[in-house]
Chain A
Amino acid sequence: MVEVLQTDVLVIGGGAAGTNAALKAADYGAKVTLVVKGLLGKSGCSIFAAFTPYFQKTNEDLRSKRWRFMIRYYNHYLADQEYCGRLEDYMCEEFYPDLERIGVYWRRKAEGGLEMIEARTRSLVAHKQGATGPIMMDKRRREVLRRGIPVHEECAVTSLITDGERVVGATVLDYRHGKYFVIRAGSTIIATGHSDYLATRATGTREQSADGISMAVRAGAELANLEIQWWHVSDVLEPKSWMRYHIYPNPLMGTLETSRLYNSQGEMFYEQKTHSPGAAAPYTEQLRRLAREVIAGRARFDGGYHSGYDHIPAETTNTYQHQAKIWRKLGLDVGKDRLECGITWHMRHGGINVNAARMETSLPGLYAAGGVGCHYFGGVGPASFDGKVAGVAAAEAALSGTKKALPEQALAAEEKRVFGFLQAGAEGPRPIEAKLRVRQIMSELGYIKNEHNMQAALAALQEVREAMIPRLRLQSTSLNWNTGWMDALDAGCMVDACEAMVRSGLNRKESRGPFYREDYPYIDNEYWLCRNIVNRVNGEWQSRQQAIPTPYLTPEKSREPFFEADY
């Protein structure tokens, strides 16, 4: 008999969105249960936050600049603008007080007053080398522990449970002990963050296998703008794990100095202050400039160009760059050496389609918060705000509704699917091979897309689904931290999510932000300033568009050549 835990609000994910959702739902009086695939406050994206944006309404100039950032440069007009307004209120009034109250310390000057990075708009840091995320998430994690909110760490949600009308909970595999259980919940919040593991070169770590997107796809929820994917340009080429040492285009903490990118001829082709004045959209602009170098034969997407700080005094780099120390350990001289780079899958703008006023998805009982949503591109501030909104809305619904019965048959079928992978043998591919293959398919699809290569990717994904996944064999059938078993489950998630992503890309017949189609090389604000939505119902893919209102900021041009646009 499967163990069934009861809760009012189930929160899936332990980053900025998930922890805040849990705390705010608990404040509201709900019984909360957190399930985290990695470790609370340690896995996922949130700990990568370098600094936090400082919003002040009083400074009109900075305020209008920030609005342009939020809507035009970072979200390519795909953000929910009403949400941006509420986000601004939250950042001004709640984000910092909530965290300072429990002990996060944003750096002050010796004589008092905040230490501020003035380089872009304004940002604050809790750590001078830009490791604000770990400090912030450590305090959140401690607060969740102090409050005694039940946390199931190293547990993967394998599916959402629906009773035909609403989401009524989730099935969970505790992979540390191989224990399968069910959580029955009044409301469920997906806060699984960005799916940053979906290409051979990816900044994401191995737990970020798009479980949230995948469970939403399988439950029939709508997804929007999944094709809007980011690629980092300046991540170290090799060894492989180095890709997580991103050389950000932004100024080093506390300075105005930035890295530079050089093509294979040694010519500098990107520097923030030169090519993205005012730090407007540096990431997408880097990508576009690299694409031009690649097309001209002066770089490749997978190498042949370099990034470095050799134009800056080494002392500055050593003081303010987190990774300077590991460079030294590995025999590099930050004052002289440039590093070969390659493009690296980073974060995705789109996600589960939500009504951002309450973070409700298209499925009753299911909420989405943070990077897994589609209304904003992410960040620890916005994710925290989403967590609060979703936490309160989910708690309110759970406490006022009646709990539905669980569909026993579906639970048994899911248990059979999960344990079906637990077969050892020498025949058949290892699960990690399926994951690596999916990542390879998405890498080959890469940045420059067209109808043909997206169709090819779709066919290749289908082959993984049909020819690889049913044949997967593990090395051991141990229930105890069986990484092969985890890989098998991850591989299924990755195929589901990537298929949705590519289908969404095929539907969008324009280019925008980091999404470039050479067969539609222009931004088309007349037809495509919208949520591009897909979902799968009874095995059939459906699609629709949903208009994005632009009450505050509208693009000047209805149509613009992609390489001439600045957003």
Chain B
Amino acid sequence: MKFNKKKQSDDEKFSSLLSSVGRETVAPDREFLNKLKEESAKIFEASASNGSGHLRESINTISIWRTIMKNPITKIAAAAAILIVVIIGINQLGDSSSVAWAEVSQHILNAQTAILDIIIGDEGEGSVVIHDQIKGPRIRRTMSNVEDVVSIIDLETSRILTLTVSKKEAAYIDLKGLPSMPNYMDTLRNVIRELRENPHFEVEELGKQEIDGREAIGFLARHPKVELTIWADPETALPVRIEQVGGQMKVICKNVKFDVPMDETLFSMDVPDGYKLQQVELDLMGATEQDFIEGLRIRAELFDGEFPEGIAVEDYLRQAQAIGGKLNELGLGDEEVTKLGMKLSRHLLFIRFFKGQGEWHYVGNGVKLGDAETAIFWYQPEGSETYRVIYGDLSVKDVSTENLPK
């Protein structure tokens, strides 16, 4: 290979070099850009009128699920799975004699509506933020990683209306088999009432701190099954942030506002004019141990045969983007991707609505699929004296307490 001895100026040299990136590039997809134009204009308008909030959160997370969501049915199935697992159930607690606590809790008792952002797991960069507007038994929900999808959840009828705004697509999702989901505000009220009636309930004052950019006073309510931390405005006693750690799941509710007037139409279960309707039924009846194992198998197979780092809901949310990417790489047909999406949903539901005694244990991080010697998960089914232990080859054995993996 001979080099031409002709002198090249600096400009010529850079033109030669950089021309290499200008060749054979992907031409603009005008259809895509036209669709994006309308979608981006809506987001611009929403952000411009609503300054802060969840819209800002999504810079690093918007692409989560995009690949999995190229098929609308899969998209709906995947979104529904997340919608379901993050529906909050706050469990029973104790009581307090603190006047300030009483004042704070009274606001929850009296609230008719609520607006809040929910984060599952620890808050950090890349956390998926679920924005809820709540009125009676209905929740209007958006998620930072699926920005153009709005869902209206009716807890009374166990039905979800999902609207994909950019494509003007609507779908009703009937949630067959889900555990009962009480009215959200009633749940909160029940919690407070139980607190008041339980003489063993203790509340610890955490003093004042800056929380989410504002001064707030904190209360930590402890109960054997759950710890609840409420941060409230020191002047008005209105709760602004609620952190709940129960079982093996942490839920953070932030930017909490009660009794904000909201129009009924926001919670309408009617399909808006101009939307194309699809009907989807998710059979979520009793996610079983086998469903859980199948999900473990899929998750390992997607990642070079290695089991995931964690299997809690927040771990799944964090891994969702990578899972979507891997599914996309497989080049599967729509139907197959939908089936995989449903299987992963049921896998997730087993953990979210865990029915065993005590806690589940997962130690599969880094273990290879097929490793028959290494236990990766164990739990004690309800009413059982022994544990179910799942190994790296996905075999299951009944094991007594003394023989559990160390």
Are these two chains actual partners, yes or no?
no
Query: Which residues of A line the B interface, CB within 8 A?
Result: none
**Chain B residues within 8 Å of A, Cβ to Cβ:** none
